[in-house]
Amino acid sequence: MKSLADCRTPFLIGVRHHSPACAVRMGEWLDSFGPDKILLELPPEFQDWLPWLAHPQLQAPAALAGTDQSDQLFFYPFADFSPELAALRWAQQRGIEVEAFDLEAACQTPPERRTLEGGQQGLLDQWQVALGNQDFESLWDERVESAAPAAQAEALRQAALLVGLVQRLQEAAEGIRLRDLMRETAMRKRLGLSLGQGKKVAVVVGSFHACALLPEPRLWEECHPQGGGRRELRTSLVPYSFELLDSRSGYPAGIRDPVWQQRIFLSQLQIPKISQSLSELAVELCHHLRQARQPAGTPDAQESVRMAWELAELRGLPAPGRAEFLQAVQSCMAQGEVLGRGRALARALEKTLVGQQRGQLAVGTPRSGLVPEVEALLVRLNLPRHSHEPVRLDPLRSPLDRSRQVFLRRLQLLGIPYASQRDSGDTLTQVWSFQWTTSSEAALELAGYRGPSLSQACRGALRGQEDLLLGLSQSAECGLGQQVDEFLARLMVEYPQSARLDQLVGGLGLLERIANGQLPGLPAQACGSPELPVSAYQLPAEVDRQVLLAAAVRALEGLAGSRQLSDVLALRELLQLEGGGLRLRWALRNMSREGSPLMQGAAAMALSLLQESGYRVPDFVAGPPGRELAERLKGALAVGVAWIEARPEWRQELLQAVADLEDEPFWRRLASLREGFEVLSQAARARFLETLALNRLDLPLAPDHLVALALADRAGLEALADLPILWVETTGEMPASPSDVPLARGQVSLNERFRLILGQPVDSQNSRVGRAARALDELYGRGHGEGSRAHLGGGAGEGSGYAGAREWGDELADLFGSPVREEVLGRAAEKGRAAALLALEPDSVVPSVELLEQALSLVGALSEHQLGQLRPLVARVLRELTRELSQRLRPALQGLLSARPTRRPGARLDLARTLRANLHTARPGGQGGWTLAPERLLFQTRQQRSLDWRIVLVVDVSGSMEASIIYSAITAAILAGLPAFCVHFLAFSTEVIDFTQRVSDPLALLMEVQVGGGTLIAPALRYARGLLTVPSRSLVLLVSDFEDGGPLAELLAEVRALVECGARPLGLAALSDDGQARFCQATAEAVVAAGMPVAALTPLELARWVGEQVRS
Amino acid sequence: MTQAQAPPPESVYQAELELLQELDQGARPVGWRLSPASVVTFLLGSKGPLKGSRTITITPKFVGERALVERCVVTLAGQRGLLLVGEPGTAKSMLSELLAAAISGSSQLTVQGTAGTHEEHLRYGWNYALLLSRGPSPEALVPSPVLTAMRSGSLARIEELTRCLPEVQDALVSLLSDRRMSVPELGEYEYARAGFNLIATANLRDKGVSEMSSALKRRFNFEVVPPIADRAAEVALIQRQARAQQADFRLDDSILDALVTAFRDLRSGLSSEGWSVEKPSSVMSTAEAVAVASSMALQACYFESQRDPLGLLPGYLLGTVTKDDPKDRARLLAYWDGPVRRRAEQGSRLWKRLLELRSALEE
């Protein structure tokens, strides 16, 4: 140790790369020694940049960066508190030579470690007893940074060298990296040269390396880089920012809390100034906390400053360090909360301590970084600046194309307008067209702030990506393996907590593709052209599909009430991934009992696929006609039409079920059945009809044609028999023979029935069949998806459409009965045919929420004139529903309406009750009247005072919640009609709109709500919290499906804040008469854990809950 | 006191406290019996034997982070109370007793909080006979432990603060900020002497606790005490406690191990292999594990037909997990689908057997 401190050839200054203490004392150290040359620990490739870095005009932070072709990054950020920068500036002022004397960064170095001969375990143990067994960073903070204010300059230099020595000893025990040994060999060589010229040399180097640079080196042995493998390094000097300098930003070589370090540097280690800084930071912190609507004031700041100082004293430090400050703040302000307040505090700390300072280069600094790199790559990858013809790339076969593809994806990610992708028509190749404009250049300049090279800038761009799945696929496309790993790690943590089923299934699919090396950016073996190599990628071992699968099964539970087909499709995907665990079956069984009709159908189908007995899909057909039947069938078919086709016994059951219907029941069910099968594409329905093998019965063929077919069959079979490898399964999978096809009861044949159900051309003697086909085609047209554009299929009926919606409606009523008419017309309105609903007479319809939903779904798309026509219908349905609902709700809210009697002497005498209670004291009085001698006086409580409850309805209008929105509006209106309540109605998607003014008029309210957009719950809750005056007398009802687009932590923080302030929140996954909900299970559970109960309620149950809360 | 089941720390560690007091050179906050540094030493133990009139090694009494203890001590020297929060069984109460014993020499000025705690338990009550005969007088006033601590300048402890009703809790608000208690009946103030402060313990997450008002929260510094991190320590603890309840406790080590593993997995939401596990809403505390272990041993011991105690485990787990929320059953099923199946696939016999026993979980 002594030799380190006393050495003057060279004068050793051991530093850490960011250290305010060293940066402050650097001038003193150098002054005391007076060197005429300074050696800096930096690769010599950066030598040319040093004058620009030390330039007086340069404002820190700035960074030196170098990249080689394989995209390895060498990165050296500098701030005012970097000792190297302090040394550079000192030398620049005095005109003293500075040399970067590290090993060339371009040298390849192996990652191994080498154990040195004669390790000094004894010495290490001795030091560890003296200093405590700490890691380098905490030892450095304790011995150097915290001790600095009270230490002499020389003592500080020795302390820094000592910490480096201890670290060296620790590493020597487990082996020193070869890379370090090689670097030190190179440093010694350059140092020897300088000393040989007779110069007085000071060395500024990581204190770890110091003992290897002594004239007689310790804990070091010579080690030369193996030859070859020189790389070309492109260097750049770029402006930098505190946000990126903070080590949590993910950028390399940073330090925590730059503002803290900067403050310590600016204080020049003088204790009064540190004290001043500390107070300022604490005050600023409280300010940020208050901005987040958390109480924090002078007493908190005062207490945390006191605590920081006393902790420092207890630990024997001259002034509090960062650790003491942070611990004090946590104790005094976090209140033991991880969410809510804890989260707000973390945010405030980030704002206060990370800061936003940005660096600036001196005028005249040579251009470097992203822009020249991209321009060079354009040339080297031979990509045109403009293309007249689109260019087809084949990334999976051509290495050059793979590199091009990755390059283009990266530019896309940075938002640089240059290349655009077109539909290529196949999945393997891709077609691009190019257009380089001035805006491309401008965007490129801007992107340069995110990183000094293309890949670095992409990493920067990806860091802000909140959508994990998108981020994952983007980083995979861009070939950024490290980012893929990061996103995967986040995905594995966050998705099980909060993702929806479709996200989880999507994530699993993407994982599969990555694992199989199917993405051009992430090949299994390194490839690509030398200009831009694409490195190989291996899925890390800790990525565990099982975790995501388990989360997906859990997410399924929230979908029981879903009415969206996409959820059924996600379930189908899940079935293909999951083998049918206990929990999956449990969830499906629940769903088949309690779910919405759609999900019941899907669950029943899934269960019968899993071989559970008792779930027979074909039985649905015999169920009562109507929307439910259609939905149930839809769910079942969407999950498993392929299986129905494949299994003859199921097919047979379905045929039998349809055949067993009499004609009239069939007609009543036809619309629903067709609606159910509509889930399949036109071509799929045609195929389905084919597998049912009904054709043979009804399509008579000429005998010679039959003979020809039979001969062709036989020839085919013989040809197959010659091929030994083929084994043709003939049993069971053959089309059913005619004798197996059941005969339909009634007049309509089975073939006709299925053709009507499946929307296939029908040619029948029965005129009713033709009319029915035509009437239904009016709604469904030619179907959708595969086959809908072909001329072959398309519709069961023939002939033109109807003259108007009214005629069509009449025809429907005539054919199928009037309930079916409303169902079909409503469905037409959903599909955008407004005229269908306008044709309905407001007074003749049966009021239902479905109808109202359908009518309201049109509102955004109608002209003012049509809206005027629709309004009477909506008004009437709404009026009926409100009247009915308020009759049902009133009993639940009874007792809240009137003032309660009390015996406590109060403001108003309850004359009537007092009279009644004291009738027994009545006696005849003078003048023929009666006199009362009351014993018990009864008073009225003042109802306004005791019942001024505030109810805030926060309603999600982002998408699939129509029924709940309607019920919310009606319930709000009913509650607002009671004297005791003050009701607010907030509609939110990504924005919050306050409809409180409209709350008593649900018609106006519903006509104004615009459904659609994303979901951000947290801001809505924050707004609601702002409305509360007496939180303990406030109910906050959040109606949402909890598919939140924002970060989960923020949502939980808001929920916690609401609970902490004493309000009574309730989450409603659904507010509707069936009480079936579709919501994101994982998020909802997290919300429950944060203190907001979540339930799916009917309005009546809600009213009871409100009553209970108010009475308790 | 020697007959007591659990004597207070100031008598158990009397010798250590006396020695520390004798050797203490550091500055003491007014009213403290030891300097902050010595208090930390008392709790965490000394590196070697300390030499004074006697030579004693201070034993470590609290196993935990040094910084946590330091922060507690510093807080108590200030103007705010100390609130220790954490899950059940994390030695919060022990920490508070030790702090009070070291700083004030007594850990006995204690209020044990329940839903039945009244304001007079925190402030003062009256000797009603005296009150009726002579009217309000200082002699008729019965001080609470808190008031006694204020008068003597020592630490008062409040156990389970959040179990007290919010109105009662709020009696502490002005007391903590003004450091005096008004006695309107006598028309006077009781002033706190230097050295007075409060240590409260609380459980923020448990059911049946009241929310603290934010006014009261602002008057405390919060320290979170983490749960037992060591698995072996927990196994040993369960064995010890089950033996204490039942002398002839016999349960195969491997079964006990499976039990502890399942409990720890479900409690922490992370299996020992690092797989994520969905946490049930019921409390999976060490105490519950002890109860299950001893029931299993009892049943295996007294019922001859139950030769295979492992067969009982799924049923008992189901009973522990499904208390309030029917969805907890689904979570246990997911545990069987996940970690249990995977351990079985990795070849563990015990877990294979448990996987075979899954029918016990189905409805």
Q: Which of A336, A584, A1060 sits opposite B83 (nearest CB)?
A: A336
User: Could you tell me if residue B90 is inside a domain?
Assistant: yes
Residue with tokens 């089923």: A501
- pLDDT, position B208: 59
A544 contacts B75? CB cut-off 8 A: no
pLDDT in tens, A831-884: 767 677 777 777 767 777 777 777 777 776 677 777 777 788 788 888 888 887
In a domain, B17, yes or no: no
pLDDT at B72 over 90: yes
Q: Which tens digits make up the pLDDT trace of B105-122?
A: 999 999 998 888 888 889
Say if residue A459 is in the same domain as residue A523.
yes
Highest mean pLDDT among A242-256, A945-959, B13-27, B248-262: B13-27
Is B305 in the same domain as B219? no
Looking at beta carbons, which residues of chain A come within 8 Å of B83?
336
Q: Do B78 and A310 touch (CB under 8 A)?
A: yes
pLDDT for A943 equals: 46
A413 in Cβ contact with A370 (< 8 Å):
no
Residue A730 has pLDDT above 50, yes or no: no
Does residue B30 sit within a domain? no
Do A350 and A376 reside in the same domain of the chain?
no
A331:B337 CB<8 A? no
Q: Are residues B110 and B174 in the same domain?
A: yes
- Tell me: do A406 and A517 sit in the same domain: yes
Q: Are residues B216 and B84 in the same domain?
A: yes
pLDDT number for residue A118: 56
Test mutation, B35, B71, B358, chain A, max A CBs within 10 A: B71
Same structural domain, B206 and B292: no
For B332, the closest chain A residue by CA position comes to A583
Q: Which of A328, A583, A1059 lies closest to B330 in CB terms?
A: A583
Q: Is the N-terminal amide bond of A819 cis, ω within 30° of 0?
A: no
Chain B closest CA to A146's CA: distance in Å?
16
Count the Cβ atoms, other than its own, within 10 Å of residue A257.
23
Mark yes or no for CB contact A307/B75 under 8 Å: yes
Contact B329 A547 (CB under 8 A): no
Cβ neighbours of A586 in B, within 8 Å: 329-330, 333, 362-363
Sign of CA dihedral A86, A90, A92, A97: negative
- pLDDT at position A737, please? 47
Q: Do A1060 and B214 touch (CB under 8 A)?
A: yes
- Chain A residues inside the 8 Å CB shell of B87: none
Nearest to A988 by CA among A1007, A961, A1026: A961
Interface contact B334-A587, CB threshold 8 A: no
Number of domains in chain A: 6
The model's confidence at residue A728, banded by pLDDT at 50, 70 and 90, is very low
In the sheet with A1064-1071, reading across from the earlier edge strand, the strands are A992-994, A981-988, A949-956, A1034-1039, A1064-1071, A1094-1097
Chain A residue numbers with beta carbons less than 8 Å from the beta carbon of B41 are: none
CB contact under 8 A, A581 and B71: no
- Domain end, chosen from B209, B224, B239, is at B224
As separate numbers, helices (DSSP H) first and strands (DSSP E) second, chain A gives 46, 23
Closest CA to A181 of A124, A228, A112: A112
Residues A620 and A693 placed together within one structural domain of the fold: yes
Domain span at residue B149 reads 65-224
B283 vs A: CB within 8 A: no
Residues 289-348 of B with CB under 8 A from A: 327, 329-330, 333-334, 336-338, 341-342
pTM attached to this predicted model:
0.65
Q: Copy the structure tokens of residue A599.
A: 């999900």
Are A575 and A609 contacting, i.e. CB atoms less than 8 angstroms apart? Answer: yes
Cross-chain CB nearest to B338 (options A306, A335, A546): A546
B132 and B189 belong to one structural domain: yes
- A310 and B CB contact within 8 Å: yes
Q: What is the pLDDT confidence band of residue A105, given thresholds at 50, 70 and 90? A: confident
Q: Could you identify the residue written with the tokens 């709940």?
A: A964
Burial code (b: 16+ CB inside 10 Å, e: under 16) for B78-111 equals bebbbbbbbbeebbbbbbbbbbbbbbbbbbbbbb
> Looking at the structure, do residues B70 and B172 belong to the same domain, yes or no?
yes
What number of other Cβ atoms are within 10 A of residue A986's Cβ?
23
Domain contains B167: yes
Rounded CA Rg of chain A: 39
CB atoms within 10 A of CB A691: 15
Q: Where do we find the tokens 């105690």? A: B309
Q: Which two tokens stand for residue A743?
A: 């005969």
pLDDT tens across A13-28, in order?
989 888 999 999 998 9
Is the same domain home to A336 and A402? no
Residue corresponding to tokens 């600016």: A266
Token reading at A311: 């902790």
Q: Same domain, yes or no, for B146 and B197?
A: yes
Q: What is the pLDDT of residues B195-212, one digit of tens each?
A: 999 999 987 666 556 778
Reported confidence tier of residue A702, pLDDT bands at 50, 70, 90: low
Are A413 and A441 within one domain?
yes
The two three-digit tokens of residue B85, written as one number:
């929060």
User: Is A553 domain-assigned?
Assistant: no
Q: Cβ–Cβ of B221/A587 closer than 8 Å?
A: no
Using the Cβ of B75 and the Cβ atoms of chain A, whether some distance falls under 8 Å is answered with yes
Indicate whether B26 belongs to any domain: no
Contacts of A550 in chain B (CB under 8 A): 276, 278, 334, 337-338
Of B79, B220, B334, the CB nearest to A583: B334
Question: In A478-581, where does DSSP find H-type helix?
Answer: 481-498, 501-515, 545-556, 565-577
Whether the predicted pLDDT of B342 surpasses 70: yes
Q: Is residue A558 part of a domain?
A: no
Give pLDDT tens digits for B132-141: 888 888 989 9
pLDDT(A693) > 90: no
| Rounded-to-integer distance, Cα A316 and Cα A329, Å | 19
Q: CA nearest B67 in A: which residue?
A: A327
Query: Which residues form the domain of A883?
Result: 805-891
Q: Which of residues 136-175 of B touch A (CB under 8 A)?
A: none
Q: Is A554 on the interface with B (CB under 8 A)?
A: yes
**Per-residue pLDDT band at A709 (split at 50, 70, 90):** confident
- Pairing, β B155-159 against β B197-202: parallel
Asked if residues A18 and A79 have their Cβ atoms less than 8 Å apart, the reply is yes
Q: How many domains does chain B fold into?
A: 2
Beta carbons of B70 and A315 less than 8 Å apart: yes
pLDDT attached to residue B36:
92
Number of H helices, E strands in chain B: 18, 11
A331 touches chain B (CB under 8 A): yes
Look over chain B and give the mean of its residue pLDDT values, rounded to a whole number: 84
CATH code of residue B204: 3.40.50.300
Report the distance separating Cα A108 and Cα A112, nearest Å: 12
B171 in the same domain as B133: yes
Are B70 and A307 within 8 A, CB to CB? Answer: no
| Chain A residues inside the 8 Å CB shell of B328 | none
Which helix (H) or strand (E) segment holds residue B66: the answer is helix B66-76
| Full DSSP string of A329-395 | HHHHHSTT-SSTHHHHHHHHHHHHHH---B-BPPTTPPP-SHHHHHHHHHHHTT--SB-SS-EEE-T
Residues A676, A678, A681, CA angle at the centre, nearest 5°? 140
Q: Which of B224, B252, B275 is the last residue of a domain?
A: B224
Q: Is residue A913 part of a domain?
A: no
- The reply to whether A800 falls in a domain is no
| Mean of pLDDT values over A808-832 | 76
The single residue listed with the structure tokens 């029941």 is A665
Interchain contact, B358 vs A582, CB within 8 Å? yes
Q: Are A152 and A215 in contact (CB under 8 A)?
A: no
Using one digit for the tens of pLDDT, what is the confidence trace for A926-985?
677 777 777 777 776 544 444 578 889 998 888 655 778 888 888 888 888 777 788 888
Same domain, B110 and B215: yes
Kind and range of the H or E run holding A86? helix A83-94
Averaged pLDDT score across all residues of chain A? 80
Mutate which of B218, B343, B346, B356 to disrupt the A interface (most A C-beta within 10 Å)? B218
Q: Is the domain of A340 the same as that of A377?
A: no
Clarify whether residues B114 and B154 are in a common domain.
Answer: yes
Q: Does residue A284 share a domain with residue A200? A: no
Q: Look at A332 and B80 and tell me if their CB atoms are within 8 Å.
A: yes
Q: How far apart are CA A1084 and CA A1015, in angstroms?
A: 14
Query: What is the pLDDT at residue B148?
Result: 94
- Range with lowest mean pLDDT among A467-471, B4-8, B316-320: B4-8
pLDDT tens-digit readout, A52-74? 888 888 888 888 888 776 667 78
Q: Would you tell me which residues 279-308 of chain A have a C-beta closer than 8 angstroms to some C-beta of chain B?
A: 295, 299-300, 303, 306-307
Is A942 within a domain? Answer: no
Q: Are residues A643 and A746 in the same domain?
A: yes
Cα distance between residue B217 and residue B86, in whole Å: 15
Cβ B35 vs Cβ B26: under 8 Å: yes
State residue A746's pLDDT score: 72
A783 dihedral zone (left: phi>0; alpha: psi -120 to 50; beta): left
- What is the average pLDDT across A491-514? 84
How far is it, in rounded angstroms, from Cα A207 to Cα A139?
Answer: 13
Provide mean pLDDT across the span A748-757.
Answer: 81
Does residue B277 lie within any of the structural domains? Answer: yes
pLDDT given for residue A736 in this prediction: 44
| DSSP assignment string, A1047-1075 | -HHHHHHHHHHHHHTT-EEEEEEEESTT-
In a domain? residue B268: yes
Contact residues for A116 (Cβ-Cβ < 8 A; gap 6+): A172, A175, A176, A219, A220, A221
The CA distance from A230 to the nearest CA of chain B, in Å, is 42
CB contact under 8 A, B78 and A295: no
Distance in Å from the first CA to the final CA of chain A:
74
Confidence of residue B163 (pLDDT cuts 50, 70, 90): confident
B79 and B105 assigned to the same domain: yes
A582–B362 CB contact, under 8 Å = yes
Per the CB < 8 A criterion, the answer to whether A825 and A855 are in contact is: no
Same domain membership, residue A308 and residue A244: no
User: Of A980, A995, A955, which Cα lies nearest the Cα of A1106?
Assistant: A980
Same domain, A49 and A194: yes
The Cα of A550 is separated from the nearest Cα of chain B by a number of Å equal to 7
Q: For residue B88, give the nearest of B272, B284, B236 by alpha carbon.
A: B284
Query: Which of B224, B259, B288 corresponds to the end of one domain?
Result: B224
Residue A591: its H or E element: helix A582-594
Question: Which residue in chain B has the smallest CA separation from A335?
Answer: B222
Residues of A in contact with B338 (CB under 8 A): 546-547, 550
Residues A238, A334 share a domain: no
Residue A554 belongs to a domain: no
What residues pair up with B284 in beta bridges, in sequence order? none
Whether residue A556 is contained in a domain is answered as no
Q: Which residues of B touch A582 (CB under 8 A)?
A: 333-334, 336-337, 358, 361-362
Mutate to test the interface with B, among A330, A553, A583, A1087 (most CBs of B within 10 A): A583
Query: Between residues 243 and 282 of chain B, which touch chain A (CB distance below 8 Å)?
Result: 274-276, 278
pLDDT one-digit tens code per residue, B14-62 = 999 999 999 988 888 999 999 999 999 999 888 888 888 888 888 888 7
Q: pLDDT band for position A532 (50/70/90)?
A: confident
DSSP designation for A1011: -
The partner residue sitting opposite B221, judged by closest CB among A331, A1059, A1060, is A331
Q: Are residues B77 and B201 in the same domain?
A: yes
Our CA-based measurement puts residue A437 at a distance from the nearest CA of chain B, in whole angstroms, of: 50
When CB atoms are compared, the residue of A295, A307, A584 closest to B74 is A307
* Nearest residue on chain A to B76, alpha-carbon basis: A307
For residue A44, give every residue at least 6 positions away whose Cβ sits within 8 Å of its Cβ, in sequence order, or none: A99, A100, A101, A102, A104
Written as six digits, the tokens of A936 are 């018990």
The rounded percent of chain B whose pLDDT value lies above 70 is 91
Q: What are the C-alpha distances in Å from B347 to residues B336, B339, B342?
A: 15, 13, 9
